[in-house]
Structure 1
Amino acid sequence: MATRKIFAGARLRALRNQHRLTQAELAARLDISASYVNQIESNQRPLTASVMLALADGFNLDLSSLMTDGSDRLLADLREAMADPLFGEAVPNLQELKTVTANAPDMARALLTLYEAYRKSNERLNSVDAALTRDPQSGMQTAYEEVRDFFHYADNYIDPLDRAAEALATELGEFGPDRLNRLIAYCQEAHDLRVVLTAPNRPEVIKEFDRAGRTLSINTRLEPSSQFFQIAAHLAGMEQTTLLDQLLDAANFKTADARAIARMGLANYFAGALQMPYGAYLKAAEAHRYDIEELGQLFGASLEQVAHRLSTMQRPRERGVPFFFARVDAAGTITKRHSATALQFARFGGACPLWNVHRAFEAHGQITRQLAETPDGNRYLCLAWSSEKRSGGYHGITRRYAYALGCEISHANRLVYGSDVDVTRDRFDPIGISCRICERRNCPQRSVPPLGAGISIDADRRSIVPYQIG
């Protein structure tokens, strides 16, 4: 079997810029010629084993990060955008798109931003009411979408914040039922912050901070796992101010709103990492074969928190199973998404209706399993479940969500859920990213034709889908 060549020009160039090195200086550190560095950065030459080892030793890199094609998600996003009829016959072929994402990832992201602005402008112009509002943000990427992309392209792993949380977790001590009380005591001792569990006047209020009295009020109706999380997120804003500012400055968000949302997201990241510190969590996950219910019991966390944390286990040289994770509301909208796998979620449309996450609402309280195959031939083990979040009593608000967690089938034997999978005999359900870019021609669940593909209609014959894809 031939060894796959590793082209990592963009990653090497980003590494060199990060360390403010010229090509000649990097060449000296790697003991190769400057022209060789230039050829690698231009993707004219692949990385050799000796160069990869030199990069790993000289820059403390994980070899697996060099061997992983980080452009997969960018390529999926670009293909989806290019499927729009707007581009007509001028659509680049797959190889050209791969070249762009590998050699000019910043250009690819800029094109995606431009397309998203075009799409949103069109949506607004198609609605007279929206046009009359004269929204100053019309046609621009929303703040939430900008933050979503920030975490998306960081593989949902923020190393310095993760390690800071792990250090504090060590200081708090071993896990147990009194860990919440220890966190509350730490807030008082280290920051003179008084934490009280109380029932707020409005049941939808999760937490409230009284700056003058230095008192943080947490809704007592929350589960203990959520109480811990909310306290930890607030603590992040107090202890990690400098680090948060550095991360936000480096991200260079376009608006103050995006920066504020990202700060909240980073604080939440810290909270999850404090609740489930990386080293201990990875060890437990491997020991319990990624049983999310067992992990929830061990770390006093909800299944959503457990699954979300599993999607972040991408620390160099200490990687866990690469997972995708998504949260879906009752309308089918993906409200949270992360993927460390080749599976990417639709940016511009709804998710595939054949995906088992949509059936999770019917099997409330159960974890269901699906073996799925995407049009690119990749196969996945998909888990799904649903939950309800209540605020108040009988007349209170109930929020319902379904959750999806999965990995490529090659990792299934590491999971308790995949111990009986037989890839040679078991049936894999055909799923896609979204109908608008799915290449499957005979899907009975198709809602719209794929963009960029012609259709034909036979007046004398009717199938479930009333047209044939050309």
Structure 2
Amino acid sequence: MQDATPNRPAPRLGAKVRALRRQEGLTQTDMAQRLGISPSYLNLIEANKRPLTAPLLIQLAQAFKVDFRTFAPQEDVRMADDLMEAFGDPLFDNLDLPAAEVRELAQACPSIARAVFLLYQAHREGSRRLEALADQLSDGQGFPPAASPLPSEAAGDFIQRAMNHFPDLEAAAEELWERHGLDQDMLYLKLVDAFRSRGIAVRVHRASEMPGILRRFDPHGGSLSLSELLPLRSRAFQLAHQWALLALDGVLDGLTRDPLLPEGAARSMARVALANYFAGAVLMPYGPFLKGARNARYDIELLARRFQVSFEQVCHRLTSLRRPGEEGVPFHFLRIDIAGNISKSFSGSGIRFARYSGCCPRWNVHASFLTPGLIRTQISQMPDGVRYFCIARTLQKDTGAYRGQHAMQAVGLGCDIAHARELIYADGLLLDQPPVPIGVTCRLCDRTDCEQRAFPPLHQGIRVQEEVRRSSFFAHLGKGD
């Protein structure tokens, strides 16, 4: 998503102001008095007849102790995109649901929009349970246990809402460096000393002593065990991760006490994600890493060697450089397996990821499996006209043992085309060349000429022409065709 320009009109946030007022149990007169404005002016703001100006937004956030992100227009965009993907379900094929009205609902009535989306999620979960039940009954094995919703979606949404930047964890990582005199070339040994200062011994065990386990903490015995299968960089990462769980327990609890983050597995998963974030901040301290990234023009392999981390860890860290006044290039990131399943994703560039299916097959992250270990570049364009510059490369899990499973995955990292020249990977490329037309997913993409389309786009009927064979079954769509 491109940055706002000074000439762009201020966002209309009347519905959010009204929702906040009702949540606080205030009348328009009461809230107006606390904000120092007239009730009639507040009424105009809530009716979207006057914009919520920046000074008034600051005053509102301070007076009612709310996060600025509550009023971020990006939240409306993400909710509208989620609703559009939900309405892409064949369940709604016979309904006329214009995108403009969906976006208007997300902006004007965010609570209702979220309720509709939660209902759809419940519908999908119920459908999955019925399918599992049918499969189980057909095999004659009786009733299966009730399926539980995946917590990964809620944890991923939590990271996305924070734009993958957590100042408290950055400050804690910098404090750890200062207090324990960490050193880049001896980071693992310094972290071992830091644990020793807390009365915790770090031991490396044979793989046969910890089958299937890479890290295990014994709070009663005061020991932290690591597997010999972990390379040195991974041992340092696991130490930093465990440090977050021990020394920053209260911080992690505070960050995950999010009303939109369900209790239980989702919050536990979010805590793990935050501990990983902290570990990345320890291995790649914000200031030195940002400076190194700029000087190296975001050469990922060079940064991996300089900070003694993996290619994927560098990619993750690059997406978190959002400190005000010290921002890096706003990247998006995804990781997929060879079947196209998305296991991790984050969008800092504004690009949209499908929630309920894999990404567009034209994305270069899929093609990277054809050239293992090599970096592939791509200039692409979404249906809304926004162009992106993306790189992709495969990863092979390092198990450290002959009989271990060497699973292959691929990661994609990209940014708005406006930032492409800051990346070394764009050298020698003509950025104005015709881009590869891509989409989010088939149901949300209107490109009917795509030979790789697997499903028809939303709100477009299919007219089967038996006497004509086209390059794609969906290349000729529309009610009037």
- Fold in common (TM above 0.5): yes
Deviation at 1:263, TM superposition (A): 2.1
CA displacement at 1:237 relative to structure 2: 1.0
Partner residue of 1:216 out of 224, 249, 252: 224
Residues 1:454 and 2:465 aligned together: no
The whole-number CA distance in structure 2 between the counterparts of 1:428 and 1:62 is: 38
In structure 2, the CA distance between the partners of 1:370 and 1:230, relative to structure 1 (3 Å rule), is same
* Alignment equivalent of 2:7, drawn from 3, 7, 10: 3
The Cα of 1:345 is off from its aligned counterpart by 1.0
Question: Is 1:5–1:47's contact at 8 Å kept on the other side of the alignment?
Answer: no
* Residue aligned with 2:239, SS: helix
Q: Which amino acid aligns with 2:448?
A: R
Q: 1:432 aligns with which of 439, 443, 447?
A: 439
Q: Bigger CA drift: 441-450 or 94-103?
A: 94-103
Q: Distance in 1 between matches of 2:22 and 2:251?
A: 21
2:135 to 129, 136, 141: 129
CA contact (8 A) 1:8 1:66 kept: no
Q: 2:99 aligns with which of 72, 94, 102?
A: 94
What are the within-5 Å matches in structure 2 for residues 281-320 of structure 1? 281-320=289-328
* Structure 1 position 322, deviation (Å): 1.3
Closer/same/farther in 2, CA of residues 304 and 106 from structure 1, 3 Å limit? farther
Report the equivalent of 1:117. 122
What are the ranges of 5 or more consecutive residues in structure 1 without an aligned counterpart?
A: none
CA contact (8 A) 1:42 1:103 kept: no
Deviation at 1:312, TM superposition (A): 1.9
Structure 2 partner of 1:361: 369
Change (3 A) 1:353 1:215: same
> Is 2:230–2:400's contact at 8 Å kept on the other side of the alignment?
no
* Distance in structure 1 (CA, Å) of the matches to 2:332 and 2:160: 11
- Cα deviation for residue 61 of structure 1 reads 11
Distance 2:309 2:26 in 1: 44
Contact kept, 8 Å, 1:412 with 1:419, in 2: the verdict is no
| Conserved 8 A contact 2:182-2:190 | no
**Partner residue of 1:76?**
81
Partner of 1:157: 165
Query: Deviation of residue 443 (structure 1)?
Result: 0.2
Q: Do the aligned residues in 1 keep the contact of 2:331 with 2:413 (CA within 8 Å)?
A: yes
1:186-205 Cα deviation digits (max 9, x unpaired): 1111x211112232325532
Q: Secondary structure at the match of 1:212?
A: coil
Q: State the distance in 1 between where 2:473 and 2:414 align.
A: 33
Verify the 8 A CA contact 2:349 2:415 in the aligned structure 1.
Answer: yes
Counterpart in the other structure of 1:388 = 396
Change (3 A) 1:385 1:133: farther
TM-score in terms of structure 2 length: 0.86
Mapped to 2, the partners of 1:318 and 1:47 lie a distance apart of: 27
Q: Contact between 1:65 and 1:316, CA under 8 Å: does it hold in 2?
A: no
Normalised by the size of structure 1, how large is the TM-score?
Answer: 0.88
Q: Distance in 2 between matches of 1:165 and 1:14?
A: 37
1:348 alignment partner in structure 2: 356
Mapped to 2, the partners of 1:411 and 1:60 lie a distance apart of 35
SS in 1 for 2:185: coil
CA deviations on 1:27-53 (whole Å, 9 max, x unpaired) are: 677654454345445543224465468
The aligned amino acid for 2:390 is C
Structure 2 SS opposite 1:398: coil
The alignment partner of 2:390 has SS state of strand
Which SS does the other structure have where 1:108 is aligned? Answer: helix
Q: 1:207-356 residue pairs with structure 2 within 5 A? A: 207-251=215-259, 253-356=261-364
Change (3 A) 1:58 1:111: closer
The question of whether the paired residues in 2 share the 8 Å contact of 1:75 and 1:98 is answered with yes
Superposed CA deviations along residues 43-76 of structure 1, whole A, max 9, x for unmatched, are: 4322446546878999999999978634332222
Q: Is the 8 A contact 1:373 1:380 kept in 2?
A: yes
Shift of 1:243: 1.4
> How far apart, CA to CA, are the structure 1 residues paired with 2:179 and 2:67?
27
Q: Is the 8 A contact 1:385 1:402 kept in 2?
A: yes
CA shift digits 1:321-344 (9 cap, x unpaired) = 211101111111111111112211
Shift of 1:178: 0.5
Distance 1:213 1:21, change over 3 A: farther
Q: Report what 1:416 is aligned to.
A: 424
Residues 61 and 252 (structure 1), Cα distance of their counterparts in 2 relative to 1, 3 Å cut: closer
Distance 1:13 1:232 in 2: 43
Distance 1:135 1:117, change over 3 A: farther
Whether the 8 Å contact between 1:383 and 1:404 is mirrored in structure 2 is yes
Query: 1:349, 1:436 within 8 Å by CA — same for their partners in 2?
Result: no
1:443 aligns with 2:450: yes
Aligned CA-pair RMSD: 3.3
- 8 Å Cα contact 1:7-1:40 kept in structure 2: no
Greater Cα shift, 76-85 or 48-57? 48-57
Give the share of equivalent positions with the same residue, in percent.
38
| Equivalent-residue separation in structure 2 for 1:45 and 1:228 (angstroms) | 53
Q: Counterpart of 1:227 in 2: which secondary structure? A: helix
- In 2, the alpha carbon distance for the partners of 1:192 and 1:19 equals 47
Number of equivalenced pairs = 467
| Aligned partner of residue 266 in structure 1, secondary structure | helix
Q: Secondary structure at the match of 2:398?
A: strand
**Partner SS, residue 155 of structure 1:** coil
Amino acid in structure 1 at the alignment position of 2:195: C
- C-alpha distance in 1 between matches for 2:33 and 2:399: 61
Distance 2:365 2:165 in 1: 24
8 A Cα contact 2:93 2:458, kept in partner: no
Structure 1: which amino acid aligns with 2:293?
A
Deviation string 1:284-329 (CA, Å, 9 cap, x unpaired) is 2223222222222232221111111111222344332211101111
The letter for the 2-side match of 1:461 is V
| Aligned ranges 1:41-52 → 2 under 5 Å | 41-48=46-53, 51=56
Relative to structure 1, is the Cα distance of residues 17 and 284 closer, same or farther in structure 2, using a 3 angstrom cutoff? farther
SS in 1 for 2:361: coil
CA–CA distance in structure 1, aligned partners of residues 316 and 355 of structure 2: 19
Can you give the 5+ residue segments of structure 2 that lack an aligned partner in the other structure?
A: none
